[in-house]
Amino acid sequence: MTDNNDNERPLTFLETLSSVFAAMFGVQKQEMRERDFRRGKLSHFIAVGVLFTVVFILTVWAIVKLVMNLAGV
């Protein structure tokens, strides 16, 4: 059983990050989605989503630059 205080505390950064990561790939359990709606804050999800997107784009850009550099282009 979960503690009543556990249901009322906000999501931690890692819980929010894992939910955003799962949402980006479209694999989220129903239980986790319900937890997100109960305990999560929209502003936190937006901030982590934007941060994750920026990191993803920069990673793809860096990989492309590396491959282009190795190819001599």
> What residue spans define the domains of the chain?
4-71
Split the chain (73 residues) into runs of 10 and give each run's mean pLDDT. 66 92 88 91 93 96 97 86
Q: What's the CA gap between 12 and 53, in Å, rounded?
A: 19
Asked if 14 contacts 5 with a C-beta cutoff of 8 angstroms, the reply is no
pLDDT at position 7 is: 67
DSSP-assigned states of every residue in 11-69: PPHHHHHHHHHHHHHT---HHHHHHHHHH--HHHHHHHHHHHHHHHHHHHHHHHHHHHH
